[in-house]
Amino acid sequence: MTDKKRRRRSHGEGSLFQRSSDGVWVGRLDLGYVDGKRIRKSVYGKTEREARHKLNELRRQHERGMPVVTKRQRLAGYLEHWLVDVLPGTVKESTQASYVDMVRRHIVPVLGHIYLDKLAPADVRRFLNRKAAEKSARGRPFSARTVQYLHAILRRALEHACREELLGRNVARLVSPRQVEREEVDPWTLEETQQFLKTAQRDRLYPLYVLALMLGLRRGELLALRWSLIDLDEGVLRVRESLQRIDGQLRFTSPKTMRSRRTVPLPTLCIAVLRAHHQAQRRERAQERAWPSPNLVFTTRRGTPIEPRNLNRHFERLCKQAGVRRIRFHEMRHTCASMLFAAGNEPRVIMDILGHSVVGTTLNLYTHVMPAQHRSAAESMDALFTGPGDDEEQEEDEKQ
């Protein structure tokens, strides 16, 4: 039965049909007239049986006098409801803040005027193409990853609308996600790392950079690190929090994933620099009237938490002073992973140190081996396929 051929039913009985455009089954209940306007409510299903079940439930709800939501809603209104009433508690605070920003700055201005039930795959596709062609506030084109992120947010929001039976299908799922090429990461070499640390040794935040390069801690994890989570006698450090700027305020949040809550063994150098840093911090505290964050390992000279963006600027200045190639702060984590691989550590061990959820992330993102290892790999293949006799024949050929 198609949407063009369907049996007309009496008021309150409802109708059931299959849309020819996409094959979705639609159950529609006529609720009569309200203020002179005819009101209908629709439910949707992938199969006739599913749609019929939903239609029967809707009819029973109506017969019992229970309210049936019939008011049409624009996407902007629904997204605001989703952000305020649905999203909190399902994602980290920092992720929620990011969703709010992306929805209000990018999705609503373009798609917000469209009625939720009229949003089509073509609308989503045009929106994504438009964002891919736009430039950010910094004058640079939006990255493919940012466009993909916008798509993922819209898809998640519409998925909830489907669960609430406000929609029969998630049109964002019908649009293919944009392909994102994995960004090539070029971490520091061992020589660059040593040169940077040699320069940073004169800086009060030298211990922070030692931990970043030797343990691969994230920026937020370093800035939230507390003395109570470090046992210098046992030589271990526990990661339990992350410092993030959310909604204009610095907040201590849970780490990125459950696997990010980890206990990391401390190399001897880390223990030594942390002991020295603890003594230096005590001397700084003695010179101040108050020290707002006495348990934080890394603070400003006045004892307050360090602004993450200020740490980025501090790192860039040190890179310039050291005369090393400028990389992003996060790429010290890549550098740590590469050196762990170069030292022959197993991927599973590196995964635990870095706090990855799955070992595949470790292998895909951080297997940046040094050029010397490539040469070693080539020589190992020579050893397998070239025997002593082959070497003698080659020498004889060269003499001739």
The lowest-confidence range among 9-13, 158-162, 305-309, 361-365 is 9-13
Taking only the tens place, the pLDDT of each residue in 98-131 is 999 999 999 999 999 999 988 999 999 999 999 9
From the list 188, 178, 157, 165, the residue with the least C-alpha distance to 86 is 157
| Model confidence band, residue 172 (pLDDT cutoffs 50, 70, 90) | very high
Token digits of residue 292 = 């707002």
The lowest-confidence range among 43-47, 155-159, 236-240 is 43-47
Token digits of residue 365 = 């993102």
Buried b (16+ CB within 10 A) or exposed e, 189-209: beebbebbbebbeeeebbbbb
From the list 164, 167, 147, the residue with the least C-alpha distance to 106 is 147
From the list 253, 237, 240, 365, the residue with the least C-alpha distance to 308 is 253
- CB-based contact 196:209 (threshold 8 Å): yes
Report the distance separating Cα 179 and Cα 144, nearest Å: 7
pLDDT of residue 358: 61
Model-level pTM greater than 0.75? no
Work out the widest C-alpha separation in the chain, in whole angstroms.
106
Report the distance separating Cα 329 and Cα 339, nearest Å: 16
- CB-based contact 338:353 (threshold 8 Å): no
Token digits of residue 254 = 């849970």
- CB-based contact 239:255 (threshold 8 Å): yes
Token digits of residue 206 = 């030298």
Sheet of 15-18: strands edge to edge? Answer: 15-18, 25-34, 37-45
Percent of the chain with pLDDT over 70: 80
What residue type is 215 in one-letter code? L
The label of the residue with tokens 């082959």 reads 390
